[in-house]
Structure 1
Amino acid sequence: MSQPAPTVSIVKMYASRKEIYARETKGIYATWRWVCVWLTQLMFYGLPWLSWNERQAVLFDLGTRKFYLFGIVLWPQDFIYLALLLIICAYALFLFTAVAGRVWCGFSCPQTVYTEIFMWVERKIEGTRSARMRLDKQPWTLEKVSRKTAKHSAWGAISLWTGFTFIGYFTPIHTLAGEVAAFSLGPWQSFWIFFYAFATYGNAGWLREQVCRYMCPYARFQSAMFDQDTLIVSYDKTRGEPRAPLAKTHSGPADGSCIDCTMCVQVCPTGIDIRDGLQYDCISCAACVDACDDVMDRIGAPRGLVRFTTDNALANNFSAKQIRQRATRPRVLIYSAILVLVVTALFSSLLTRTPLKVDVIRDRGSMAREGENGTIENIFRLHVMNTDEATHRYRIRVTGLDGIALDGNDEITLEGTGVRTLPLTVRLPYKQGRPRTNDIAFEVQALDDERIHVKEKARFFVPASR
């Protein structure tokens, strides 16, 4: 018998993207999202224009390798502060996630913030959700072209201003603005402005929920920080099921509170159905909570069918007080304690640090040489950095051996945030010190402020055959 011909089936590994037309929603969480938008963007766009001590208040000047943060000037040697800052951000993320899930994603993440701004522009130009859907289905007409052009022009303007502001944190923004006005931007400045403008335009205007779903690693490892007492946006199945359309008979005992209006799906920026349970796509923006509460108000049912709650609270019908009590569990307390310790260490170090840095470098040309009047000389280079913004005069001393002294001027003046490398000749009487290496120290003391004092160790070499 002949064998039947094999059948061929095509299995698609990737589903094509379906356009999401998020409906506008109003409510307490929508208000808080816009509060976060305003706070973050006023800070982002406004900080580069603030002045402090006749300079830009916040400036990461890569050219001079100086970071200005209001009254603090950081140098490459202060890399430890960046490490502490990253640790603080990590533990703050762990803490917020353990307590309230992905609230960072839903309210303060730059992707969410700029998507919210771009969607607002889209609604103002193209109309409501249904109007946008009709517009996209229509053939290309003059009205459609004009609306699309206006929308993308507005998106482009916001993106360019965002890119310009971002570069303004690394190049003095007043200088940058003058160069833009004079069309004299350098190639690298132009590249980075347009690069970040393109990233903003692409992520917030086109990719949107795909960034959260496929590109952001946080969605993948968030489950490691979740537990049964983490606040998440949840649908109360016990109360909501079985679903039934709103009708005169809906108040029957067999029907749940959910009227299957799909408003929770229509307002979701990632296009999920919260009624299917917790999903990694959910960014905890709580738009579905506002939408469902509004529907419940309209039909005269209690709010909270979709709400921020925990798995334990849903399973055991916990009260709000019990939820708050279980929030102070060991994981949260440990994250909080570590966060407080690191923040305290960071600010204590910043407030008590000495605004003077000294590096001692031995001259590589010779270990030692014989000087005048029977002395032994070692040559050093002293790298002195005034990390304060005020001018200081310093006195330099060398200690550690009897009779050791500097040859030449022992005082220097450094302007604010100034740097100077000094060649220093150190002399020791011929009979002093032991052969080979001897421990010495360079001391730099500010003459106008006794609190500014740095002591740096070094080695003085004495020839064995003297």
Structure 2
Amino acid sequence: MSTDSNSKDYSKHNRIKIHQPDAAKADRFNPRNRIYVRAVEGLWTNVRRRMGWVAMLFFLILPWIPWGDRQAVWFNLSEQKFHVFALTIWPQDLTLLAALFMIAAFGLFFVTTYLGRVWCGYTCPQTVWTFIFIWFEEKFEGARNKRIKLDKMPWSFDKIWRKTAKHTSWVLVSLLTAMTFVSYFVPTREVYTDVFTLSADIDIYFWVLFFTAATYGNAGWMREIMCLHMCPYARFQSAMFDKNTFIVGYDAKRGETRGPRSRKADPKELGLGDCIDCDLCVQVCPTGIDIRNGLQYECINCGGCIDACDTTMERMGYAKGLISYTTENKLDGIKEKVLRPKLVGYGVVLTVMILVFIYASATISPVRMDVIRDRNALYRENSQGNIENTFTIKLLNKTEQQQVYSLSVAGLNNAQWIGPDSVTIDGGKIMTLPISVAIDPVELKRSISDIYIEVSTEIEGEKVEIKQETRFFAP
């Protein structure tokens, strides 16, 4: 590619574009064409690697953390309860779960507007597992050049054992991943014990095998195909980007005209820029792009090309930063703006939603009551001559401990409660209770009166009261 075409391509970096590769590199869009990622060391690679291991360990360890008589995080679908440490979310509280997803979404929007696709490059599960699989690949098959050579070689004992060891490690990691994921929905010890003793339900075996196959396929074979062709985030990220968003960018003014030279040569005398056209930035890219062609939607901001380029610049005796985390405005010599309306807007919405979520979580009621009127008869006159209405009360104990609840009625003078006025409910259980409310007709001023069914209990020394409004019908 000529210098003029390079400059022309990069002059359009103020837009996220679908990179149109030359004929020599067009095959990278072919799902059957494999990308051999070269190993690289450097600041951003070490940061990404450490963040990936922390995320992986967090994922693996979390289901094993005990909390009382259960695990700390348990999405109990059979009983419709989501346990997150001390917080238990019931179907009636799913607005909290929806709010949590919205917080995650706006958090992603905020981070993307400010730092670009760092989520993809550092914490996305697809990226984390892909690099773990690449690590095993390097251990058994060698560096990039050796892997390419091995794949071209005819089958031999050496090739068979290396391929077998690699795929076995992939399957084992995939199996561990699948069993850990299922452990978030089924008690952890039960999953591991039942699966390995062949006594698990068919549903557990199905999901373990399903997620094993999914992980093995995604991280082992599909890899960048997920990012390039299947991930929706890459498609709508441009709506959050602006010229002040931090991206992985190539300084074309400094790097062009690119070309090879010796370490001792003066690039200015040769009419060259700092880029020696070593192509290491392409070889270390997990999606196979050439960052020198400008901003492309396939870039996941992992920083691998930055480390590769900085290593080359250091060896050549040039200043680092030819490829760096930068902004389009900075590349164009324009002053950067950190605070801008879009970023502030996302930040304000995110902060408000976090505060609302914290308040809603802290004030969630430990008991829920539903009052249902008898639909067969609005009222009846009992043997004492009082007007009686019948109700069905459903009480849900949303705590983990057994609780005693007191029930009463308010809203009308001298109302009589017919039925048990105190009940005991085990933790996480629902009790259905038929009761009646009777009132002397003398006390009634109208045919329809508002009354309140009240429930009270004491939890950890604190009195908790709830009430629900209903109507009392009379002649």
* Structure 2 match to 1:92: 107
Q: Determine the structure 2 residue equivalent to 1:185.
A: 200
- Greater RCO structure (CA 8 Å; 6+ sep): 2
Q: Which residue of 2 aligns with 1:7?
A: none
Alignment correspondent of 1:40: 55
Query: Which one of 374, 389, 393 corresponds to residue 404 of structure 2?
Result: 393
How many pairs were matched up? Answer: 445
Bigger shift: 369-378 or 100-109? 369-378
For the residue of structure 2 that corresponds to 1:348, the secondary structure is: helix
Structure 1 CA distance for aligned equivalents of residues 77 and 339 of structure 2: 43
Tell me the equivalent position of 1:166. 181
| Corresponding residue number in structure 2 for 1:3 | none
User: Match for 2:215: what amino acid?
Assistant: T
**Alignment pair present for 1:377 and 2:404:** no
Cα shift at 1:332: 1.3
CA drift at 1:414: 2.1
SS at match of 1:446: strand
1:162 maps to a residue whose letter is T
| Alignment partners' CA distance in 1, 2:382 and 2:462 | 34
> What CA distance in whole angstroms lies between the structure 2 residues aligned with 1:47 and 1:438?
52
Task: Give the superposition deviation at 1:250.
Answer: 4.4
Q: Which residue of 2 aligns with 1:458?
A: 470
Q: Does 1:403 align with 2:418?
A: no
Task: Identify the residue that residue 239 of structure 1 maps to in structure 2.
Answer: 254
Q: What SS class does the counterpart of residue 185 from structure 1 fall into?
A: coil
Determine if contact 1:107/1:285 at 8 Å carries over to the other structure: yes
8 A contact 2:389–2:436 mirrored in 1: yes
Shift of 1:434: 5.0
Quote how far apart the aligned CAs of 1:56 are.
Answer: 0.8
CA displacement 1:106-147 (0-9 Å, x = unmatched)? 000010011011111111111100110011000111111111
Match of 2:265 among 249, 274, 292: 249
CA distance in 1, matches of 2:31, 2:346: 40
Distance 2:189 2:30 in 1: 47
More off after superposition, 423-432 vs 220-229: 423-432
Question: In the alignment, what sits opposite 1:300?
Answer: 317
Q: Deviations over 1:309-367 (max 9, x none)?
A: 0010010165xxxx4xx212222111111111110110111112221111111233332
Q: What is the one-letter code of the residue matched to 1:285?
A: C
Q: How does 1:193-342 map to 2 (within 5 A)?
A: 193-247=208-262, 248-253=264-269, 254-316=271-333, 318=335, 323=336, 326-342=337-353
Given the alignment, which residue of 44, 55, 58 partners 2:73? Answer: 58
Instruction: Give 3-state SS (helix, strand or coil) of 2:114's partner.
Output: helix
Structure 2: state its 5+ residue gaps.
Answer: 1-26
Q: Is the 8 A contact 2:386 2:438 kept in 1?
A: yes
1:157 counterpart = 2:168: no
Secondary structure at the residue paired with 1:365? coil
Q: Secondary structure at the match of 2:122?
A: helix
Distance 2:137 2:73 in 1: 33
Distance 2:448 2:88 in 1: 36
Match of 1:342, SS?
Answer: helix
Q: Look up the match of 1:80.
A: 95
Query: Cα distance, 1:242 vs. partner?
Result: 0.2
- Preserved contact between residue 397 and residue 405 of structure 1 (Cα < 8 Å): no
In the aligned structure 1, how far is the partner of 2:418 from the partner of 2:197? 52
What residue is the counterpart of 2:20 in the other structure? none
Asked whether 1:145 is paired with 2:157, we answer no
- One-letter amino acid of the counterpart of residue 183, structure 1: L
Q: Which moved more, 1:130-139 or 1:402-411?
A: 402-411
Shift of 1:87: 1.1
For residues 1-20 of structure 1, give each alpha carbon's deviation from its aligned partner in whole angstroms, at most 9, with x where no partner exists. Answer: xxxxxxxxxxx9x8464210
Please say if residues 395 and 447 of structure 1, whose CA atoms lie closer than 8 Å, have aligned partners that are also in contact. no
Secondary structure in 1 matching 2:423 = strand
Ranges in structure 1 where 5+ consecutive residues have no aligned partner:
1-11
User: Quick one: structure 1 residues 103 and 447, their matched pair in 2 at CA, closer, same or farther if it must change by over 3 Å?
Assistant: closer
SS in 1 for 2:442: coil
Query: SS at the partner of 2:466?
Result: strand
Query: Which is worse superposed, 296-305 or 351-360?
Result: 351-360
Residue 362 of structure 1, aligned match among 373, 381, 391 = 373
User: What is the Cα deviation at residue 435 of structure 1?
Assistant: 5.5
Q: Deviations over 1:199-244 (max 9, x none)?
A: 1111100000000000001111111100010000000000000012
* Amino acid across the alignment from 1:138: M
Q: Note the aligned Cα RMSD (angstroms).
A: 1.6
Task: Single out whichever of 368-377 and 263-272 deviates more from structure 2.
Answer: 368-377
Pair 1:154–1:53, CA change in 2 (3 A): same
Task: Tell me which residue corresponds to 2:19.
Answer: none
**4+ residue runs over 6 A deviation:** none
Q: Tell me, in whole angstroms, the C-alpha distance in 1 between the residues paired with 2:352 and 2:151.
A: 54
Q: Which amino acid aligns with 2:187?
A: P
Q: Does 1:23 find its partner at 2:34?
A: no
TM-aligned CA distance change 1:317 to 1:261, over 3 Å: farther
Q: Is the 8 A contact 2:408 2:455 kept in 1?
A: yes
8 A contact 2:110–2:346 mirrored in 1? yes
Name the CA distance, whole Å, in 1 between partners of 2:403 and 2:314.
Answer: 68
Q: Distance in 1 between matches of 2:446 and 2:453?
A: 20
Q: Which residue of 2 aligns with 1:415?
A: 426
Aligned CA distance change for structure 1 residues 79 and 15 (closer, same or farther; 3 Å): same
Superposed CA deviations along residues 393-449 of structure 1, whole A, max 9, x for unmatched, are: 111011112222211320112232232111112212233335543211111011464
> What is the rounded CA distance, in whole Å, between the counterparts of 1:447 and 1:151 in structure 2?
58
2:99 and 2:357 in contact (8 A); partners too: yes
Is contact 1:244-1:250 (8 Å) kept?
A: no
Distance in 1 (CA, whole Å) between partners of 2:201 and 2:401 is 32
- Contact kept, 8 Å, 2:195 with 2:205, in 1: the verdict is no
Aligned to 1:19, what secondary structure does the other structure show?
Answer: coil
CA spacing shift, 1:317–1:450, aligned 2, 3 Å: closer
The one-letter amino acid of 2:313's match is: M
